[in-house]
Amino acid sequence: MTNLLRTPRTYVVLTAACVFTVSSFALAQLGSGNNAACLGINAPSVMQTGQKSIVYFKFKNTGTTTWTAGMYYSISALPERNMTWGVNSVKFRPVTVLPAQSAVATIAALAPSTPGTYELAWQMTYLRAPFGAICRKTVKVTPPQAYLRVTELSGPRTDTAVANQKDITLDRFKFYADRANLNLIEVEAKAAEGSLGNVNSYALWVDADGNGEVETVLQDGVQPLLGTVLFDNIVDGVNGFYRINSGQEVRMEIRGDVNGSLGEPPQLRMTLARAEAETENGGPFPPEQVLLSQVAQTLWTFVDNGNLFVTKDTTPVRPRQLLGGTLGDTILRLNFRAEHEPVDVTNLQITNSGSTASAVERLELFQAGQTSSFGIATTSGCGTDDVPEEGTTFCASMQSQQLLIPRGGEVTVLVKPRLKNDEAGAVSGQHIQLTIEANNAMNNSIGTGAVRARGAASSNTLSGNDGDAEGEGEVFIGTNSAAPNEQITGNAHVTVLSKITSITNASTDPDGTNVSAGIKEIGKFKFTAATHTNTRNGLNKFTLSGVYFNVTATNVAIGSGSFYMYNAANRNATKNCPAYDTNGTRITNVLSGSMLVLCDFRATFSDVDTQIEQGTGSVFTLRANITNPDVTAANTSTLQVSLRDFSDMQNTSFAHNASHMLWQDVDYGGTENFTWIEYPETVVNGTLYQS
């Protein structure tokens, strides 16, 4: 037996039934059948300071007693219960070990913090009395190993670049100096896919200020050689290396410029091959301590040019009445989208298909959200360009980057007409409808092509659409994908020399005012005319020639023939206005329900002044005789007048089932009739009377 008696002591022994004290001599007698053999130890021969390792000790019960958990366990030895390895006792498995059976004790050994040679020893114990053989192994504890950890960082899976494009990012990675100050002296990369020859002037960049973005070039102008790109002259501005201090993480990138002539295959995916470092004192650093973790980098596909897509913007543009002598509102919205590279639009041809557009001095071009124009298109700007034979074309020739569409981005261009006044040749009623022609041909030398552009990165001129489903450095018109061109056509608009800017309820009665009997002003509307400078043959005036008032009378009776309209400036000059039902049938009896009241100033002379001078307003009033404001006492009475169906350009006639407004653009030289008013609202309500 290896169980030894010690200096007599007293021990407390706990059993399931009782607690009692025994001496060490008595314990020796109790454990006289204990013995153990070491069947082996699984532990490393060398560990670094502070390193953790799982260690297994295997013991065989060579005694006559049964080992049970609680009474038997395993402890560190040499010396007994030492904490050299961070733990001094542990249970074994299984929890019951019969004679001739074996048990395993497992510890998480923590290497000492001081380098040296140490005993890793473990022994079985019974009630704090060690017994049996000691499992032991000598372990050398060394200083921690230094590493240079190189980790590639993920980026976009795929991307496209164009010929001559500069500074594309080919590889992203970071260095981490683990437990040592190191000098980075070489970085080597290779092609995982494609050809290194499609890129030139490779450069190694570093995030020197640690803000997460590379900004400093360590070495550039490197060309591929023997299938690799080698950066072996890494200079940080002072030294012939780049210092990475212990615990420091540094981000770097490899970038390059795409060749003007592309080889096959026109692709490249790079990967790091190796990195080399030295100690801070210039000594060698073992290559096996440079740990490289690779991640698939961006697969670049190279094309000669980017593409430009020009489409009609989805934001609707309502028909406009374009006032002579002013800058009109937007009459066409174009959307430009660049693919693969920024695209510099150099020429734009906009054709008016509806007339000679003699009233338009020029077209001014705005980017959406901007208040100043970036360019103009004029008829004289076309010069000798090849423009459509029909209609009038306005051409804009842009300087470099005057209209630059960002790579992968979109720019919305608003086209606004600058109108001449009538002294300069503007006329009322001229049809304006702008188009971008779908001509596939493009030739800068003869000015062919409604939209011409060049790649800002490649410096190559984009070609016309060849009509197939591939984007190969082309300009696409009227389509947002590679497909045949389609003509872009804006909405129709018309020129005017006078114009209404607002129509509002002019009554001072608030909604909810009681309906009362008698002759009442049931609707008052103020028409305001725009200021203008159209003075030829006298200032043009807006003249109201006819209007249908929509009248809704619920539980209210109105005397037949009692509707009159007048200008509030002269209540004595009136116009009697007949009523019709919504089918256009004249109503001659007591009036109630929904009806149309027609005030027509065309056929008969009237003293009512319906002309509105530029920059002024007039209030037109509709009155009626309310014969019974409460036809049925138990019911609610309502009465309201409104203006409807007057803002649709498609309504070209004045009738109960068409436009409800007719006006004339008048000067001493003539008259132009219009059946609509440009207005953002389709209904203008008067006061809602209710009782």
Give the pLDDT confidence of 381-424 residue by residue, as tens digits. 999 999 998 899 999 999 999 999 999 999 999 999 999 999 99
Q: How confident is the model at residue 16 (pLDDT cuts 50, 70, 90)?
A: very low
* Rounded CA separation 62/34 (Å): 8
Q: Would 4 be classed as within a structural domain?
A: no
Q: Would 1 be classed as within a structural domain?
A: no
What is the residue range of 567's domain? 500-690
Total of domains in the chain: 4
Q: Please tell me whether residues 246 and 322 are part of one structural domain.
A: no
Q: Would 175 be classed as within a structural domain?
A: yes
* Rounded CA separation 27/11 (Å): 8
Two structure tokens written together for 611: 């002309």
Q: CATH no. for residue 42? A: 2.60.40.10
At 32 the pLDDT is: 81
H/E stretch holding 173 reads: strand 168-178
Q: pLDDT tens for residues 196-210?
A: 999 999 999 999 999
On the CB side of 138, how many CA atoms lie within 13 Å of its CA?
2
Can you give the length of the chain in residues? 691
At 335 the pLDDT is: 98
The string of DSSP letters for 217-275 reads EEEEEE--BTTEEEE-----SSSSSEEE-TT-EEEEEEEEEE-SS--SS-EEEEEEEEE
Q: Please tell me whether residues 113 and 250 are part of one structural domain.
A: no
Q: Please tell me whether residues 226 and 360 are part of one structural domain.
A: no
Tell me the mean pLDDT in the region 324-352: 97
Tell me the mean pLDDT in the region 429-445: 91
Cβ-contact 559, 624 below 8 angstroms: yes
Q: Would 310 be classed as within a structural domain?
A: no
Q: Please tell me whether residues 460 and 367 are part of one structural domain.
A: yes
pLDDT for 84 beyond 70: yes
* Rounded CA separation 590/629 (Å): 12
Q: How confident is the model at residue 623 (pLDDT cuts 50, 70, 90)?
A: very high
CA dihedral sign, ordered 319, 324, 330, 331: positive
Task: Provide the 3-class DSSP secondary structure of residue 395.
Answer: strand
* Rounded CA separation 623/606 (Å): 17
* Rounded CA separation 689/515 (Å): 6
Q: Would 560 be classed as within a structural domain?
A: yes
pLDDT for 2 beyond 60: no
H/E stretch holding 501 reads: strand 500-505
Q: Please tell me whether residues 507 and 482 are part of one structural domain.
A: no
Q: Would 311 be classed as within a structural domain?
A: no
Q: CATH no. for residue 215? A: 2.60.40
Give the angle 459-461-465 at the CA atoms, nearest 5°.
Answer: 140
At 605 the pLDDT is: 75
Q: Please tell me whether residues 487 and 504 are part of one structural domain.
A: no
Tell me the mean pLDDT in the region 598-621: 93
* Rounded CA separation 128/74 (Å): 10
At 445 the pLDDT is: 81
Q: Please tell me whether residues 628 and 490 are part of one structural domain.
A: no
Beta bridge partners of 454: 344, 461
Q: Please tell me whether residues 597 and 563 are part of one structural domain.
A: yes
Q: Please tell me whether residues 292 and 220 are part of one structural domain.
A: yes
pLDDT for 258 beyond 80: yes
Q: Would 309 be classed as within a structural domain?
A: no
Of 265, 280, 303, the residue that ends a domain is 303
- The DSSP code for 550 is E
Of 496, 512, 543, the residue that ends a domain is 496
CA distances from 195 to 106, 198, 226, 241, 253 (A): 54, 6, 12, 29, 19
- Dihedral angle, C-alpha 281, 284, 287, 293, nearest 10 °: 10
As a 3-state breakdown, the chain gives helix, strand, coil percent values, each rounded to 5, of 5, 50, 45
Q: pLDDT tens for residues 438-465?
A: 988 888 888 889 999 999 999 999 999 9
Cβ-contact 125, 76 below 8 angstroms: no
**Where does residue 220 rank: exposed (0-12), middle (13-18), buried (19+ CB within 10 A)?**
middle
Tell me the mean pLDDT in the region 616-627: 98
Of 303, 331, 354, the residue that ends a domain is 303
CA dihedral sign, ordered 377, 380, 386, 387: positive
CB atoms within 10 A of CB 236: 15
Q: Please tell me whether residues 323 and 222 are part of one structural domain.
A: no
As a whole number, the mean pLDDT across the chain is: 93
Q: Would 421 be classed as within a structural domain?
A: yes
Q: pLDDT tens for residues 522-555?
A: 999 999 999 999 999 999 999 999 999 999 999 9
CA distances from 345 to 132, 285, 461, 467, 527 (A): 91, 55, 10, 21, 44
Q: Please tell me whether residues 549 and 686 are part of one structural domain.
A: yes
* Rounded CA separation 4/508 (Å): 116
At 31 the pLDDT is: 61
Q: Of 615, 640, 422, 608, nearest to 524 (Cα)? A: 640
At 573 the pLDDT is: 96
Q: Please tell me whether residues 541 and 671 are part of one structural domain.
A: yes
Q: Of 364, 350, 351, nearest to 322 (Cα)? A: 364
Q: pLDDT tens for residues 132-166?
A: 999 999 999 998 889 999 999 999 999 999 999 99
Q: pLDDT tens for residues 489-531?
A: 999 999 999 999 999 999 999 999 999 999 999 999 999 999 9
Q: Where are the beta strands (DSSP E) in 62-156?
A: 67-68, 72-76, 89-90, 92-93, 96-97, 102-110, 116-126, 129-142, 147-152
